[in-house]
Structure 1
Amino acid sequence: MSSSVFVIGANGYIGLGVALAFRRAGYRVYGLIRNEKLANTLLKNEIEPVVAQAFDDVQQFTDILNTCSIIIDAVGYQPKLSRALLDAAVRIGNNRTQDGKLAHYAPLYIFTSGIMTYGDTSSTGRRPVDEMVKPRPPLSATGHSSGSSTSDVTAMKEREDFENLVLATSSTALKTTVVRPGFVYGGQGGFVADLFYSESEPLVFQGRRDMRWSWVHIDDLGEGYVAIGRAPHVVVDKQLYNLAAPNDNPTYEELRIAMAKAQGRKEKFEYKEVKPGVPTRWDTDSIINPAKAMNELGWRPRHVGFVEEIETYYKSWVAHRSNAK
Structure 2
Amino acid sequence: MSNFKAKTVLVTGANGYIGNAVARSFVRAGWTTYGLVRNAETRISLKTEEIISVLGSVGDKEFVSKLAKQDRTFDVIVSTTEQIMDYVPHYNDTIDLLRAVATASNRNGVRPLVMFTSGCKDYGMTGLHGSEGLEPHTEESPLNPPPFAVDRAFNAIKIHDHTDLFDGVLLRPTTLYGLSSSFYGPIFDTAARAAEKGVLELTADPKSIMHGTHVDDCAEAYVAIAEADRDVVKGQCYNISGHQYETLEKVANALVGGYKIAGGVKFLPAPEKKGVDIVQMLYGFSQWVGSEKLRKDVGWKDKRQLFSEGLHIYRMAYEAAVAQKHGNVERIQGRIRGFESMAQEDKEKLST
TM-score (norm 1): 0.84
Structure 1 runs not aligned, ≥5 long: 139-151
| Structure 2 counterpart SS, 1:111 | strand
Q: Give RMSD over aligned pairs.
A: 2.6
Question: Superposed, which structure 2 residues align to 1:164-183 within 5 Å?
Answer: 164-167=157-160, 169-183=161-175
RCO higher in 1 or 2 (8 Å CA, sep ≥ 6)? Answer: 1
Per-residue deviation, residues 196-232 of structure 1 (Å, max 9, x unmatched): 1112233231232221132111111111000111123
Specify the alignment match of 1:81 in structure 2: 90
Aligned amino acid, residue 75 of structure 1: T
Change (3 A) 1:263 1:32: farther
| Structure 1 counterpart SS, 2:301 | coil
Q: Name the one with the larger helix percent.
A: 2
Give the conservation status (yes or no) of the 8 Å contact 2:171–2:237: yes
- Equivalent-residue separation in structure 2 for 1:41 and 1:84 (angstroms): 26
Change (3 A) 1:108 1:124: farther
Change (3 A) 1:58 1:245: farther
Change (3 A) 1:210 1:4: same
Give the conservation status (yes or no) of the 8 Å contact 2:58–2:97: no
Query: Which aligned runs of 4 or more in structure 1 are off by greater than 6 angstroms?
Result: none
Q: 1:19 aligns with which of 12, 23, 43?
A: 23
| Structure 1 counterpart SS, 2:171 | strand
- Determine whether 1:112 maps to 2:117: yes
| Structure 2 counterpart SS, 1:42 | helix
Specify the alignment match of 2:350 in structure 1: none
Specify the alignment match of 2:63 in structure 1: 60
Specify the alignment match of 2:142 in structure 1: 134
- Equivalent-residue separation in structure 2 for 1:14 and 1:23 (angstroms): 14
| Structure 1 counterpart SS, 2:193 | coil
Q: Percent identity?
A: 25
Aligned length: 302
Aligned amino acid, residue 160 of structure 1: A
Question: Superposed, which structure 2 residues align to 1:66-215 within 5 Å?
Answer: 66-76=72-82, 78-97=87-106, 105-122=110-127, 125-138=133-146, 152=147, 155-167=148-160, 169-190=161-182, 192-198=183-189, 199-201=192-194, 202-215=199-212
Give the conservation status (yes or no) of the 8 Å contact 1:2–1:229: no
Specify the alignment match of 1:146 in structure 2: none
Aligned amino acid, residue 120 of structure 1: M
Change (3 A) 1:20 1:291: same
| Structure 2 counterpart SS, 1:29 | strand
Structure 2 runs not aligned, ≥5 long: 327-352
- Equivalent-residue separation in structure 1 for 2:210 and 2:312 (angstroms): 19
- Equivalent-residue separation in structure 2 for 1:65 and 1:304 (angstroms): 43
- Equivalent-residue separation in structure 2 for 1:234 and 1:84 (angstroms): 28
